Amino acid sequence: MAVDEPRQPRRAVPTDAALAPLAPYLADPEVTDVFVNGAEGLFVDRGRGAEPVAAWRAAEEEVRALAVDLIALGGRHLDDATPCVDVRLEGGLRVHAVLPPVSRGGTLISVRAAAAQAPDLDALQERGMFAARTRELLEALVAERINLLVTGATGAGKTTLLAALLDRVPHTERIVTIEDVAELRLRHPHHVRLEARQPNLEGAGSVPLARLVREALRMRPDRLVVGECRGEEVRELLTALNTGHHGGAGTLHAGGIDEVPARLEALGALAGMDERAVARQVGSAIGCIVHVARGGDGVRRVVGMARPVLTGGALSLDEVPR
């Protein structure tokens, strides 16, 4: 595999041999994502969208071997029986790999690189994520222990914003975060992290998010946070936030803030909840929804805030002026 040198390699990257072909790109502090699309090439995202790396050369066999090695580095196995795997590596790296024939164009590798230092609210404001008035509202949500849901598309900055908000939690409070793959990195001194576990090769030993939410309730959290609701764990989160756990939070994939009610209803259906039950639970559990989006200029911004309300028994949103 041929590589070229990126600009200003400053991010600390684990020295494992498996990462060597990608290390020059991951070390660049501007790079947020690295993609390998089989033998078709390598792309990096420095905040301006995916850009091809002309000097990259690798055959499909080399890319597959790289994917297998990276997944093994995270303690999991990638093969024809398990062709799609997601792992977390040291240094804040998250690796996802897909093998053919699930991926039609060859082995696919996606690596998300965490920032060298997680930005705080000051840094996010300087980057244009929100103006002063919106910042006041966000800080008030934390100070007043309002349960909040941060929504947005992939790469919009949901986790980054949530981490910056949680850093504002008083240090006397205990934060318990629950994630499928641990990504939230907080500077808070009392942060307890729980991470879901996938089943082993025999299909046993899994610990899903829904169970971890129940376990976390026994850990006396002052702030209960679910890194991302993707399925039936939304029921446990809403139940927890409806039983006196104030100041909790979660993130949710949604293309626009107006899509959030439908997304919550869809997840609730996976947990056996009808639309009316979801609406009543969300209306009483979630105090504010904060939606973030990445613009064409690459800047991630808070583009909407709203309160969930019940309208004729259905879930709707009441916009919060900013």
| Residue pLDDT, tens place only, 86-136 | 888 887 788 999 999 999 889 999 999 877 667 899 999 999 999 999 999
Nearest C-alpha neighbor of 125 from the set 115, 135, 110: 135
Domain tally, the chain: 2
Q: Decide: 301 and 130 in contact? Cβ < 8 Å.
A: yes
Which residues span the domain enclosing 39? 17-113
Task: Give 58's strand partners.
Answer: none
Based on the fold, state whether residues 205 and 92 are members of the same structural domain.
no
Q: Decide: 224 and 250 in contact? Cβ < 8 Å.
A: no
Based on the fold, state whether residues 89 and 161 are members of the same structural domain.
no
Nearest C-alpha neighbor of 215 from the set 231, 243, 187, 196: 196
Would strands 148-152 and 108-113 be described as parallel, antiparallel, or unpaired?
unpaired
Based on the fold, state whether residues 139 and 248 are members of the same structural domain.
yes
Predicted pLDDT at 1: 57
Predicted pLDDT at 186: 87
Would you say residue 171 has pLDDT above 90?
yes
Is 129 a domain residue?
yes
How many Cα atoms within 13 Å fall on the side-chain side of residue 235?
15
Predicted pLDDT at 228: 81
Based on the fold, state whether residues 91 and 135 are members of the same structural domain.
no
Based on the fold, state whether residues 164 and 84 are members of the same structural domain.
no
Based on the fold, state whether residues 90 and 135 are members of the same structural domain.
no
Predicted pLDDT at 9: 41
Based on the fold, state whether residues 67 and 126 are members of the same structural domain.
no
In this structure, what CATH number is given to the domain that contains residue 46?
A: 3.30.450.90
Would you say residue 7 has pLDDT above 50?
no
Would you say residue 4 has pLDDT above 60?
no
Is 6 a domain residue?
no
**Residues 49-59: tens digit of each pLDDT:** 889 998 888 99
Based on the fold, state whether residues 77 and 137 are members of the same structural domain.
no
**Residues 147-162: tens digit of each pLDDT:** 999 999 988 999 999 9
Based on the fold, state whether residues 242 and 275 are members of the same structural domain.
yes
Report the C-alpha gap between 24 and 183 in whole angstroms.
Answer: 22
**Residues 60-84: tens digit of each pLDDT:** 999 999 999 999 998 888 999 889 9
Based on the fold, state whether residues 85 and 174 are members of the same structural domain.
no
Predicted pLDDT at 179: 84
**Residues 187-196: tens digit of each pLDDT:** 899 999 998 8
Reported confidence tier of residue 6, pLDDT bands at 50, 70, 90: very low
**Residues 291-312: tens digit of each pLDDT:** 999 988 888 999 999 999 998 8
**Residues 8-37: tens digit of each pLDDT:** 446 667 778 888 999 888 888 888 899 999
Share of the chain above pLDDT 90, in %: 55
Which of 84, 113, 142 marks a domain boundary?
113
Report the C-alpha gap between 48 and 298 in whole angstroms.
Answer: 5
Which of 51, 81, 113 marks a domain boundary?
113
Is 10 a domain residue?
no
Report the C-alpha gap between 270 and 236 in whole angstroms.
Answer: 12
pTM of the prediction? 0.79
DSSP collapsed to 3 states, the chain? CECCCCCCCCCCCCCCHHHCCCHHHHCCCCCCEEEEEHHHCEEEECCCCEEECCCCECCHHHHHHHHHHHHHHCCCCCECCECEEEEEECCCEEEEEECCCCCCCCCEEEEEECCCCCCCHHHHHHCCCCCHHHHHHHHHHHHCCCCEEEEECCCCCHHHHHHHHHCCCCCCCCEEEEECCCCCCCCCCCEEEEECECCCCCCCCCECHHHHHHHHHHHCCCEEEECCCCCCHHHHHHHHHCCCCCCCEEEEECCCHHHHHHHHHHHHHHCCCCHHHHHHHHHHHCCEEEEEEECCCCCEEEEEEEEEEEECCEEEEEECCC
In this structure, what CATH number is given to the domain that contains residue 239?
A: 3.40.50.300
Contacts of 155 (CB under 8 A, 6+ apart): 32, 33, 294
Is 259 a domain residue?
yes
**Using alpha carbons only, what angle is made at residue 160 by residues 14 and 185, rounded to the nearest 5 degrees?**
50
Is 247 a domain residue?
yes
**Residues 217-268: tens digit of each pLDDT:** 899 999 999 888 888 878 888 888 887 789 999 999 999 999 999 999 999 9
Based on the fold, state whether residues 98 and 136 are members of the same structural domain.
no
Based on the fold, state whether residues 278 and 247 are members of the same structural domain.
yes
